[in-house]
Structure 1
Amino acid sequence: METHHRISISINTAPLKGEMSVLFSGKGEPVEGHFIGPAVHNYYLIHIVLDGEGIFETLGETYPCKAGDAFVIFPDILVKYEASMSNPWQYMWVAFSGDIVEASLSTIGITPDRAVIRGCSLPAMKRMFRRLRKSVERTDYPELGNMEASGWLRLIMYELGRLHQTEGRQFAPTSRSFRQIDQAIRLLSLHYGQSLSIEEIARTLGYHRAHLTRLFKEATGLSPMQYLFKVRMKKAEELLEGDLTIAQIAASVGYNDPLFFTKQFHKWSGQTPTEFRRVLINKHDLCSPLN
């Protein structure tokens, strides 16, 4: 089934782990009514609407978008976006990741509950996106291309932040409930290594456990404990690339019992931590220039 009249994508072959790096960027003309979601992503996405219309849904709110509007998708936040049936939008996008991204966006006023920006200069945005895509398509020195693309990404973020700060754009406010859910997401993402219970989180935010669970699932598609499990397992995968022992990794992601951690990780990946690490080592050996 056709989803786009036209689509093109440029992929970064040399993103740096942990750094703010572009993953891929593209431009598309979806067909009438084409939608994505409700779903969560594991990276950040900025969409700039070039023409036409559509809607963006996040944290229980719906935002109509037209040419010159932008919307930002945050990892692990349930979103949906859909092209108009009568005047489907065209847009360009950039996907990126990095440990400092959330803090960088927050400092310029872009948060999950303020993720729509109006009034972008399309000529300026088109120029920056064109240069960004040219950077990631460099085949001679992809590492330099990655660095250059990160620079253009920061300029795009600057432009979005400037609209927040200097043009006073206002956004439809989300309810207190969904702002609290954002706090819960941050709490789980930052304190995954501690012993956390849904009762403690609900008490901290002033909610009954069942009410918090319902709101959290509506926003993310997962219960709070399912979300915490996902955060812990993804962090464990990262740590398994290093030299920590299984017991040390277990403790680092909130499990005092290494055996219980092993069972949980097997449920997550279908492999024990030791098997997962062995596969990583084998992949690394295969990719070594000496082979």
Structure 2
Amino acid sequence: MTNDEFRRSFRVPFHNSLGLAVYSCGVQRCGACHSWGPAVRDHYLIHYVVSGKGTFCCGGTEYHLTAGDGFLVVPSKVVYYAADREDPWEYCWVGFNGSDAKRLMGQTGLLERSPVFHYDNDSLFEDLLTKVCNASGPKPSDEARMESGLLIFLAALMDQFGTPTQQHPSGFEYVQKAIKFIEYNYSSDIGITDIAASVGISRSHLYRLFMQHISMPPNEYLMRYRINKACELLETSSLSVGEVAYSAGFSDQLYFSRVFKKYMNTPPSRYTGYERAEKVKENRK
């Protein structure tokens, strides 16, 4: 990087919140012609241009953007963006996803219009995105503050571009009910058939709705939810690995250990939070 370029960013390694999770955030002054893509993201990503110029390409259309412009990247949509050669842009951004992400983005009005927007009344958008970035960190409290900041930013987008007549995407109410059923029953021996029956639709219909609205099949959501709960128990309780497994809805401890390692890249017995709790117990003896 040259002296006038900088990048400050934070990427969340694992998302404890499935409702709305910040994937990454940052502030960057790009070098001349600095670019990304053409490629796709697996999450929503919003950039807001603070100064300079750049180009954003999406859906066969090329947009030339300057300070006060913003652009939205949606999951699985091929995009390309690049800084101007003579006056490269500086922007701030936040990337996020989760079961509530599409509903909230629908309420901003940005999904139904051009993927670019403009706001130059004041520094509100820049300030809100900077606050999300300033809240970044590895602790659960940091993640909560990041999600809180993201919600405030999305609320500002709703105030500016949303309309009060917007409705939830078709079928999303079934996804909400299914998620609530999982939250209340994840520790029991439930499967996709039980979840589908709880909301009154077929397994195949439930699968289509989950893929449509949160880009994740229901069995994957259930598994991630259980692993998240297992992480919480390993970090905050004195339960054994076997007790954690049963508490999180796994009847087979070996299967739990195998799945946990797949998602967390470490077995539950060596998970950071669990090791810390074990050391505390040893020190108390």
Normalising to structure 2: TM-score of the pair?
Answer: 0.59
Q: Determine if contact 2:44/2:72 at 8 Å carries over to the other structure.
A: yes
- Of residues 124, 141, 144, the one that matches 1:144 is 141
Change (3 A) 1:45 1:121: farther
- Of residues 265, 269, 278, the one that matches 1:285 is 269
Partner of 1:158 in structure 2? 155
Partner of 1:18 in structure 2? 18
Indicate the SS of the match to 1:155: helix
Q: Determine if contact 1:57/1:80 at 8 Å carries over to the other structure.
A: yes
Percent same amino acid among aligned pairs?
20
Per-residue displacement from partner, 1:161-207 (whole Å, max 9, x unpaired)? 333248xxxxxxxxxxxxxxxx9xx9xxxxxx749xxxxxxxxxxxx
Normalising to structure 1: TM-score of the pair?
Answer: 0.58
Two-structure CA RMSD over aligned residues (Å): 3.7
Per-residue displacement from partner, 1:210-234 (whole Å, max 9, x unpaired)? xxxxxxxxxxxxxxxxx99xx67x7
Indicate the SS of the match to 1:48: strand
Per-residue displacement from partner, 1:44-84 (whole Å, max 9, x unpaired)? 11101011111111122222111011111111111111111
Per-residue displacement from partner, 1:142-166 (whole Å, max 9, x unpaired)? 2222222222112212222333248
Partner of 1:68 in structure 2? 68
Which amino acid letter does the alignment assign opposite residue 152 of structure 1? G
**For residues 157 and 111 of structure 2, what CA distance do their matches in structure 1 show?**
12
User: Gaps (5+ residues) in structure 2?
Assistant: 164-168, 173-202, 206-210, 227-254, 276-285
Per-residue displacement from partner, 1:221-266 (whole Å, max 9, x unpaired)? xxxxxx99xx67x7665555578xxxxxxxxxxxxxxxxxxxxxxx
Partner of 2:94 in structure 1? 94
User: Gaps (5+ residues) in structure 1?
Assistant: 167-182, 187-192, 196-226, 244-272
1:114 aligns with 2:114: yes
**For residues 242 and 165 of structure 1, what CA distance do their matches in structure 2 show?**
31
- Deviation larger for 88-97 or 109-118: 109-118
- Deviation larger for 84-93 or 148-157: 148-157
Per-residue displacement from partner, 1:71-109 (whole Å, max 9, x unpaired)? 111111111111111211111111112111111111221
Indicate the SS of the match to 1:57: strand
Indicate the SS of the match to 1:47: strand
Q: CA shift at 1:278, angstroms?
A: 7.1
- Deviation larger for 44-53 or 20-29: 20-29
Per-residue displacement from partner, 1:7-42 (whole Å, max 9, x unpaired)? 111344674331212222111111111211110011
**For residues 129 and 224 of structure 2, what CA distance do their matches in structure 1 show?**
33
